[in-house]
Amino acid sequence: MKQHPEDFVKQITEQARPLEKAYYLAEWEAAVEGSNEAIGRVKDAQAAYMRFWSDPELFEAAKQLNKSGKVVAPLLARQLKLIYLAAGQNQQDEATIERLTELEGRVRQRYYNYRARVDDRELSDNEIDDVLKASRDSERVRQVWEASKQVGRQVAEEVREMARLRNAAARAGGFRDHFHRSLLLDEIDEQELFSLFADLEEQSQKPFAELKGEIDRALSARFDVPEEELRPWHYGDRFFQEGPQLGDVDLDSLVANQELEKLAAATYEGLGMEVGAILSRSDLYPRSGKNQHAFCIHVDREGDIRTLNNLQTTHRWAETLLHELGHSVYEQYLDPKLPWLLRAPAHTFTTEAVAILMGSLTFDPEWHTRVLGTEEEKAQSLTAAALRNDQAKKLIFTRWCLTMTHFERVFYSNPEADLDMVWWDLVERYQLLRRPTGRQAPDWAAKIHIALAPVYYHNYELGHLMASQLRKRLTEEAGGIVGRPAAGRWLIERVFSPGASLDWRTLVEKATGEALNPQYFVESFEF
């Protein structure tokens, strides 16, 4: 291809732009409606999008232009790199695209519409969480937990087939498997990632074991069972990714009688950021047929930013709403003058970092006094409990993320392995849970990310690391975060505005003055 690099980028942009928008809009509609028609439209829009990026000539041209080293203008070079990476991720033949989008559509349908059945009653995810969080009845939590896992059986075979297809495409391109290709073409070095995770495993080992001991003692008392009889259903959520609440303070009582939308708007207003328009475009409350998770989507890279939530007046949903709006403000304050391809976060984990940082404000003592209006004295007593829960949360999440990331590596290295066994081996190793006696079930497939957000989970952990670095810098710059417009300005200028014009390494260095590292995150493990 003898095209001029600028023309090449322009042409790709013009073609990719409407395809991406159609795909994202379809995703949004399917998530809020859950109807077969909407999910069918995602399948078609996704296939069109993938077909575009799968073009081998496009890939070859991007590769040559990247390799030539002739393009030195930074914005142009970065756009070429992103085109090369997107095309590389999507190299696969038409039959693979057809089959993969068909399987994804079917699986999406099952997850979105699945409601656990217990005693002839259908339970939403929120209802399941309520039972797991509050019940004192072992038999009841076991039933509800088991019902929540049934979706795994419904999708496991299809999810396995998706892994085979993704692997075949990756191998045809010379990669070991899909896991390898995904990381590499997302600018993550697999070895570096796993040595970082080994470090996190080691550094979290002792504090996590202590925390787990404390949780076990509390649960043993709450359920009136010996500690040896505690099983995964006792731990307060479906995967022990968050864990039960610690201490006597009921975090939910902190937000009782509050309107989460107003709290969120006030939180962002304090940072000098406007979220009213985003909230009004969002779909915030639960409904049957609607996707039960939460996410943020920037439909057109021109400001049509929306979030999906399933709000209840609980601490967890307050945190989730702030989290999704964290993604949203990142998108909203991208420099609008950037070319379309660069009008996106620097990396998936950099936007997770901002979202995690914002969600964690719900544990910040200043949030309680400045946003919730809690009296200083009462706030003092709550603060210690809230901080303790935040620390526990980071530890519990880290161990869960180790399970997920290691599982995905095994999953793609051999989708035919005894995955049910692999899953529980990892859960026992990293999360220190006891597997249910004699359980033979694809519990790994009950986690939607394995199927529909493959090789994504590590981004949350990297996001935690970066969030801790950002918090440290913001404390130096602005004395904290809540109610400080200077903190908001710093985030907009240093982190949001550059968008994808910088790769993540450069962004983290430039913004925080240090390379991405676990130091500040790990410091928070110690109680």
Residues found near Zn ion in the complex (CB under 5 A): 355
Sort 187 into a burial class: Cβ within 10 Å, 0-12 / 13-18 / 19+: middle
DSSP state of 239: T
CB of 261 to Zn ion, least distance (A): 19
211 within 8 A of 395, measured Cβ to Cβ: yes
Closer Cβ to Zn ion, 92 or 291, answer by number: 291
CB of 186 to Zn ion, least distance (A): 16
Closer Cβ to Zn ion, 355 or 478, answer by number: 355
CB of 460 to Zn ion, least distance (A): 7
4's CB contacts (< 8 A; 6+ apart) are none
Closer Cβ to Zn ion, 41 or 298, answer by number: 298
Closer Cβ to Zn ion, 5 or 359, answer by number: 359
Long-range contacts of 58-62 (CB under 8 A, 24+ apart): 58/12, 58/83, 58/87, 59/84, 59/87, 59/88, 59/91, 60/1, 61/1, 61/3, 61/8, 62/8, 62/87
Cα–Cα distance for residue pair 111/106, rounded to 1 Å: 9
Cα–Cα distance for residue pair 97/105, rounded to 1 Å: 12
Q: Residue 505 to residues 73, 462, 469, 509: CA-CA distances in angstroms?
A: 19, 12, 13, 6
Q: Is the dihedral of CA 328, 354, 90, 9 positive or negative?
A: positive
Cα–Cα distance for residue pair 231/146, rounded to 1 Å: 12
> Which contiguous run of DSSP H or E holds residue 123?
strand 121-123
Closer Cβ to Zn ion, 16 or 356, answer by number: 356
DSSP state of 494: I
CB of 352 to Zn ion, least distance (A): 5
CB of 327 to Zn ion, least distance (A): 6
> Which contiguous run of DSSP H or E holds residue 307?
strand 305-308
Per-residue b/e over 265-288, b at no fewer than 16 CB within 10 Å? bbbbbbbebebeebbebbbbebee
Find, among 401, 442, 440, the residue nearest to 163 by Cα. Answer: 442
Closer Cβ to Zn ion, 383 or 469, answer by number: 469
Closer Cβ to Zn ion, 180 or 327, answer by number: 327
Closer Cβ to Zn ion, 163 or 355, answer by number: 355
CB of 163 to Zn ion, least distance (A): 24
CB of 351 to Zn ion, least distance (A): 7
Using Cβ positions, the residue closest to Zn ion within the complex turns out to be 355
CB of 360 to Zn ion, least distance (A): 12
465 within 8 A of 516, measured Cβ to Cβ: yes
CB of 37 to Zn ion, least distance (A): 28
CB of 355 to Zn ion, least distance (A): 4
Find, among 479, 472, 477, the residue nearest to 518 by Cα. Answer: 472
Closer Cβ to Zn ion, 233 or 400, answer by number: 400
Amino acid at 81: K
CB of 502 to Zn ion, least distance (A): 20
Closer Cβ to Zn ion, 355 or 379, answer by number: 355
SS3 per residue for 357-399: HHHHHHHCHHHHHHHCCCCHHHHHHHHHHHHHHHHHHHHHHHH
Amino acid at 414: N
- Which pair of tokens denotes residue 381? 């007593």
310 within 8 A of 285, measured Cβ to Cβ: yes
Closer Cβ to Zn ion, 123 or 500, answer by number: 500
Closer Cβ to Zn ion, 355 or 419, answer by number: 355
- Which pair of tokens denotes residue 5? 């690099």
CB of 431 to Zn ion, least distance (A): 21
